[in-house]
Every structure is written in structure tokens, then in C-alpha cells.
A and B are shown apart, each in its own frame.
Chain A
Amino acid sequence: MNLRLAFLLALAPLVVTGCQRGAETKGQLTVAMMPKNKGNPYFVSCHKGAQEAAGPLGVKLLWDGPTETDPAKQNEVVEAWITRGVDVIAVSVENKEAISTALRKARGQGIKVVTWDADAEHDARDLFVNQATPEGIADVLLEQTARILGGKGSFAIITASLTAANQNEWIKHIRELLGAKYAGLTLVDVRPSDDDRKRAFDETQTLLKVHPEVKVVMAIASPAIPGAAEAVKQSGRADVKVTGLGLPNASRPYLKDGVLDSVVLWNTMDLGYLTIQVASALAKGTLKPGQTSFTAGRLGPLTVAGDNVLLGQPFTFTKENVDHFDF
């Protein structure tokens, strides 16, 4: 009997603390922001940027998302936010078709919807915060290559797989720019890495033997960066440098070595920062569809192309700045 009572009493503190909490604060703008995965360091740094923006704007920032691989989780979180009555929902989309249903419902109830990092279906959101356009990525990759080569010389690309959609889009724009802005550069070869570090290592070794004139290896898939850098390092060719697109943590040792000259990616903290700026402006009505420019706090004026807010030029990680980032 007293044991039974004890169990009931054990639950009592829960009730008491429950009564101390208030409902949603009225008057303050609530922005609910969701990453693809809460535990991924990439998104942890986006969260940091979002918090930086939320403070001065007076935005109440909710941050929640999946911690496991259940694809229904993003939908459940959005449904809860709709019930809660938040002002803006901002999602980095994992499953385009699935989440769009929930986001359309949110819009139907007057909630503003922003996607960031990865887009939903067009009618399921008001705006997409686009971190990088293929043109922008191609341009900044060539800019790095041209700088290393002094404007003239040969380079080769280590891509993800030969059918990877993103990479092929970037390569297409690289080829276009080679004919115009970067006429001094010659693209000698494009080799696959199949998103595998070992494969990138092997392909780079072969490449250096077959094309000794190549002075820059451009690795445009995240696992390809350390693979290509390791191959160049082991070849002992001090005249060859690696550049490309990848994550700072995997690149750090090779940046410090000097084999890897630079790595291009967007600044994830700025991406989170911009998302909150856009969400807040959208809810306050200061950012409207059809606008071509948007001033986003410390990021200054940015381009709005249709329903995409562009973060602008990709960010270049170098030996000097890589220690500020952890993802």
C-alpha cells in the first residue's frame, strides 16, 4: 500500500514544476528551425550562427530535429510546431516529398515557411536560403586554381562519381568559365573517386604519373580531399597543390602540411545567421516576394534571385582560418 503511494508521490514534483511554466510568449517572434540531423557538427555550427542572429533581432529560436534515421521524424516535429503556433518554420529538408506535405499545411495556417541548406517543393515554402549556386562554386574553385598556378597552367579534377548530379553541374560551369574568364587554365582530366578516400588516393597517384604537367588537383567531393592530398604528399612532388570542396575537419591536417592549399565551402555559421535574418524579415513583412536584394545584418546586402536568397560567394578555408571551424 505505502509502496503504491510512494510511486504516486514520486510523480508529484513533475506536476508542480509543470505548473510553473508559462505558455508561448506573446509579442515575441518565434522561429522554429530544423536541421537534417541535430548531432551533425555541420548543423551544430549552423545553429551557432542562428543563435548569433536571434539575440539582437529579439527572436525566440527553437531548434529541434531528428537524432536518428527515422524519416518520419521531421514531419512529426513540424506537426508539433504547427500545433504550437510558431511564427516561422525553417527547415533543412531531408525528404523533399514527405516534408512538403507538412510544410504546405503550415503555410495553410498562416505560418511562414523558409527552407535552408536543402530545398523542399517550391509551393511548400515561401523562400529558400540557398547557400551556393553552381556558378558561384565553379567560379571560386577556378579562382583558387588560377591563384595557385599564377593564371596559367594545367589542372585535373577528382570528382565524386561520374554520374553525380551536383558535381556534374559544377564541372559544366567550370568548363564554361574556362572558355571565358579563366582562358589561361587547361582542364586535363576528370577522374572519379566514388566518394571513397582510397579510390581518390589511387586515381590521384595514376593522374600524377600520366599527366606530369598537372600542377593543381581539384578534388570536388568531401572524401576526395584527404585522398588526393595524401597521394600528392606521398609522391613528394612539392610543385603540385590540391584544392577543392570539402569539410574543414577532414582537411585540417593537409592544410597545415601545405599540400592542400585551400578548401571551398560555404560558411555554415553565416548560413544559420542568414536563415534567421530571412525568417525574421519575412514574418515582419520587411522581406517580400519579388524583392531582388536583402540586407542581412552583418552580412550586408545579398542577392535575392526569384524565391532564393543567396548566401553569396562560397567561403574559402585556408591554413590561417580553418581552426575557427569545427565540422
Chain B
Amino acid sequence: MASRKADVTAAAVRRHFPGPLTHEALLGVVVLVELGYFAAAGSNFLSAGNAAEVARASVEIGLLALALTPVIVTGGIDLSVGSLLGLAAVLMGAMYRDLGLPMGAAALVGVLVGVAGGALNALLVTRLGVPPLIATLGTYSLFRGVAEGFTGGVRNYTDFPAGFLFLGQGRLPGGVPAQLPLLLAAAIFFWLLLHRTPAGRGLRAIGFSPDGARYAGIPVARRLALVYVLSGLMAGMGAAVYAARLGQAKADAGTGFELFAITAVVLGGTSIFGGRGSVPGTLLGLLAVALLQNGLRLSDLPAELAGILTGVMLIAAIGAHRVFSERSRG
């Protein structure tokens, strides 16, 4: 009897807090546990300076993860973002160092390279009907290959002007990293897109059933093109932030970023099958992974644990989600 009463209560709770929020609450607990643990185990973990460093190091992957959220919500994937970031970074460096363009113009070229790369993905997925996994696996190799070929793998663009480096290394009043407002702006943009516009509902519908969405009058190809171009745009912007943070642009920039970004998105509760996902979830997923990496370094634990614990977290979060959603259906 008692357990039945508990079930009734749980059902009432679920009515008030539907699926994604439950998942986010769970992730919130994970983040709190991390904060509590590392505050006790780490040195200077709970300091404003460290918070700024964690935020600073997370911006590029955060931009990619935000853009990947709507992509994955449509049931797609973009594996090319890390490579595209690298390509945009070296082309931006070349515009500035080799062609002598002003830094602002060079950065704009980098962003446009990102948009163009995203447009290529969009073309492959919408016009040629190539499955996103295959299309972006192809451009993943293509973009990195072009970046490596262009620089011979060794050319390293450095000596950027101080004003540009400020974007990656500077501090705004209050110790806020200079690139953080960019991430916040992107978060607000993608939140509005996914949660507050008809287009966002359309993306979800595409994720549940592309054919159904088409019959419902949703311009499927145009919506898909939009999310892949936005993904490229974020890779281009990420390239500028990355080059400014490290003070260099080399062909290996952003190696492996796509997997970190996808981890943050999936950890955040976005279904890899499409149809379900949230921007706040992605931000929490990003925070959970970033705190883990930073906290382990500050508390004398082997950094290799980061990989293991991220994997455990991912499997536990997804497992929890499946258990809860099945129970709520039953």
C-alpha cells in the first residue's frame, strides 16, 4: 500500500515536473555532488578565480554543444564541428598573417568559413539525402585534411594583436572571462530557438518523425539546413575564441572537441534518436563534465579518472532517464 501511495505521489510530481526537468534536476544533483566533493578535496576549487578558469576553458566546447543540441533534436548529428573549428582557425590566421587583413576582418573570414562548412553539411544532408552521420563523418575528415594540407601540418599562426587576444584571455569587470558573454548570448539564442519558437517545435517534430513533420507542413529541408549552418557558425566563432585563448592557430585546433560537445548534449538529456532535448540540459551537461576535469586536477586525483567518470556519468544519466520514462509510461 505504501509503495502504491508513493507511486501516486511520484506521478503527481511528474505532472508538475515533466520529463526533461526531472533529468535536469538529476544533473543538478550531480553538479552539486561534484561541487561538494571537490570543495573538500581540491585546493582553491571554490574560488572566483577557478570559476572563471572553468568557464573560460568551456566556452569553445559550449558553443559547439549549444549548436549541436538542435541538430541532435532533429535526429541528426554533426561530427565535423571540431575539424571545422580547426579549419576556420588556420584560415583566419592565414588571412591575418599572410594576407595582412585587419584582425577583425580575418576573424570574420573565420566565422564565414564556419558558415560555409555548415552550409556544405546542410547541402549534403538536405539535397543529396546523405545520412547526417555519414555526411559529417566525411566532412570531419575533409575539413581537418584541408587544414593540415594548407599548413603542411606544421605552420602555426601566432602574434595576434592584443585586442584580439583579449577575447580569449582578458577579464571583464568583476573577473568575468571576456568570452563568457558570447556563450551566454549563444545560450539565450538557442534557448529561444528551441523552446520558444514555432521553428523549435518544428525541429522536435522532425526528430520524432521527418515524414510526419513534412505532412504537417513543416519545411523540413529548410529547418535542417538552418541547424547545420548554425552549427558551422558556432564552429567559426569557436575558432576565433580558441585562437584568442591559446594565442595560436594550428591545424590541430579543436581535435576531439566534437566528442566532448556530443557528450555534454547527450548528458544533458537530449535524445540521440531526436525529438527531445533542452538547452539548459546541455549547459548542465557541459558544467558537469568541465567541473569533473578541473576538480580532479585540483584534488590530486589522476586526470585519467575524468574519462572513466564521464563515461559512468553518461551511462548512469541515460540509464536513469530510461528507467524513469518507462515508469512514467507504465
Question: Which residues of A line the B interface, CB within 8 A?
Answer: 1-4, 7-8, 10-11, 14-15, 17-19, 21, 23-24, 62, 64, 67-72, 75-77, 79-81, 83-85, 95, 97-98, 100-101
**Are A84 and B298 interface neighbours, CB within 8 A?**
yes
Q: In the complex, are the beta carbons of B248 and A97 less than 8 A apart?
A: yes
> A1 to B298, alpha carbons, bound, how many Å?
35
Q: Can you name the residue of chain A whose Cβ is closest to the Cβ of B252?
A: A71
Contacts beyond the supplied A8-B29, A79-B56: 15 A-B pairs with Cβ under 8 Å = A14-B37, A15-B33, A17-B37, A18-B36, A62-B300, A68-B256, A70-B255, A71-B255, A75-B246, A76-B57, A79-B57, A84-B297, A84-B298, A85-B44, A97-B156
Residues from chain A with a CB closer than 8 A to the CB of B9 are 1
Q: Which residues from 222 to 248 on chain B have a C-beta closer than 8 Å to any C-beta of chain A? A: 242, 245-248
Residues of B within 8 A of A1 (CB): 3, 6-7, 9-10
Asked if residues A83 and B29 are in contact (CB atoms below 8 Å), the reply is no
Tell me the complex Cα distance, A67–B250, Å: 19
A83→B41 contact, CB < 8 A: no
Contact A77/B297 with A68-B256, A97-B247 known, Cβ cut-off 8 Å = yes
CA of A219 to CA of B316, assembled, Å: 54
Q: Which residues of B contact A18 (CB under 8 A)?
A: 36-38, 40-41
Q: How many residues of B contact A (CB 8 A)?
A: 52
User: Which residues of B have CB within 8 Å of A21?
Assistant: 40-41, 299-300
User: A69 touches which one: B47, B255, B303 (CB < 8 A)?
Assistant: B255
List B contacts of A8 (CB < 8 A).
Answer: 29
Whether B53 pairs with A80 at a CB distance below 8 angstroms is yes
- Chain A residues within an 8 Å CB radius of B256: 68-70
Q: Chain B 314-330, CB within 8 Å of chain A: the 1/0 string?
A: 00100010011001000
Q: Which of chain A's residues have a CB closer than 8 A to the CB of B56? A: 79
Smallest beta-carbon distance A100→chain B, Å:
8
Task: Say yes or no for B98: interface residue by CB 8 A criterion.
Answer: no
Partner of A72 from the list B3, B45, B246 (CB cut-off 8 Å) is: B246
Q: Which residues of B contact A76 (CB under 8 A)?
A: 57, 293, 297
Q: Assuming A69-B252, A71-B253, is B246 touching A98 (CB within 8 A)?
A: yes
Contacts of B300 in A (CB 8 A): 21, 62
A10's closest neighbor in chain B, by CB? B316
* Chain A CB within 8 A of B141 CB: no
Residue of B nearest to A65 (CB): B303
Chain B 287-300: CB-based contact to A (< 8 A → 1; otherwise 0): 00000011001111
CB distance from B290 to the nearest CB of A (A): 10
Whole-angstrom CA separation of A24 from B3 in the bound complex: 47
Q: A21-B40, A80-B298 are in contact. Are A11 and B29 (CB under 8 A)?
A: yes
Instruction: State whether B158 touches A97 (Cβ < 8 A).
Output: yes
Please, how many angstroms separate the alpha-carbon atoms of A19 and B41 in the complex?
6
Decide: B57 and A95 in contact? CB cutoff 8 A. Answer: no
Residues of B within 8 A of A23 (CB): 42-43
Contact A98 B50, beta carbon cutoff 8 Å: no
Q: Which of B43, B50, B297 makes the CB contact (< 8 A) with A64?
A: B297
Q: Give chain A residues whose Cβ lies under 8 Å from the Cβ of B299.
A: 21
Give chain B interface residues in 116-130, CB to chain A under 8 Å: none
Cβ of B41: which chain A residues have Cβ within 8 Å of it?
Answer: 18-19, 21
Residues of B within 8 A of A10 (CB): 316
Chain A: which residue is nearest B49 at the CB level?
Answer: A83
State A17–B38 Cα separation when bound (angstroms).
Answer: 10
User: Which of A72, A77, A80, A101 has the most chain B CB atoms inside 10 A of its CB?
Assistant: A80
Contact yes or no, A15 B36, CB < 8 A: yes
Please report which residues of chain B, range 25-72, place their CB below 8 angstroms from some CB of chain A when the two chains form the complex: 26, 29-30, 33, 36-38, 40-45, 47, 49-50, 53, 56-57
CA distance A258 to B93 in the complex (A): 51
Given contacts A3-B323, A4-B324, A70-B255, contact A83 B33 (CB under 8 A): no
Instruction: Point out the residues of chain B lying under 8 angstroms from A24, CB to CB.
Output: 43
The 8 Å CB contact of A11, one of B33, B47, B298, is B33
Please measure, in the bound complex, the distance between the C-alpha atom of A147 and the C-alpha atom of B33, giving whole angstroms.
Answer: 66
A15 to B250: give the CA distance in the assembly, Å: 41
Shortest Cβ distance from B257 into A: residue: A70
Task: Please name all residues of chain B whose beta carbon is closer than 8 Å to the beta carbon of A83 when the two chains form the complex.
Answer: 43-45, 47, 49-50, 53, 298
- CB of B10 within 8 A of CB of A72, answer no
Are the CB atoms of A19 and B29 closer together than 8 Å? no
Mark out the residues of chain B between 136 and 191 whose CB falls within 8 Å of any chain A CB in the assembled complex: 156, 158-159, 165, 169
A105: min CB distance to chain B, Å: 8
17 contacts between A and B (CB under 8 A): A10-B316, A11-B30, A23-B42, A64-B303, A67-B303, A67-B304, A70-B252, A71-B250, A71-B252, A77-B297, A83-B44, A83-B53, A85-B43, A85-B44, A95-B248, A95-B250, A97-B158
Separation of A80 and B323 alpha carbons in the complex (Å): 37
Complex Cα–Cα for A17 and B45 (A): 16
List the B side residues contacting A100 at CB < 8 Å. Answer: 247
Complex: A4 Cα to B324 Cα, angstroms: 8
A15-B36, A71-B250, A84-B44 are contacts. A95–B156 as well, Cβ < 8 Å?
yes
Nearest CB on A from B224, distance (A)? 30
Q: What residues of chain A lie closer than 8 Å to B6, measured between beta carbons?
A: 1-2
Query: A84–B33 contact, CB under 8 A?
Result: no
Residues in chain B near residue A64, CB distance under 8 A: 297, 303
Measured CA separation A14–B295 after assembly (Å): 13
> Which B residue sits closest to A4, measured CB to CB?
B324
B160 to chain A: closest residue by CB: A97
Asked if B29 and A101 sit within 8 Å, CB to CB, the answer is: no
With contacts A18-B37, A69-B252, A77-B297 taken as known, whether A101 is within 8 angstroms of B246 at the C-beta atoms is yes
How far, in angstroms, from A101 to B255 measured CA to CA in the complex?
20
Using Cβ atoms and an 8 Å threshold, which residues of chain B touch A7?
26, 316, 320
Instruction: Tell me, rounded to whole Å, the shortest Cβ–Cβ distance linking B156 to chain A.
Output: 7
A8-B252 Cα distance, complex, nearest whole Å? 40
Min Cβ gap B292→A in Å is: 11
**A17 to B57 CA separation, bound complex (whole angstroms):** 27
In angstroms, Cα B255 to Cα A15, docked, is: 33
**Of A14, A15, A98, which one neighbours B247 at CB under 8 angstroms?**
A98
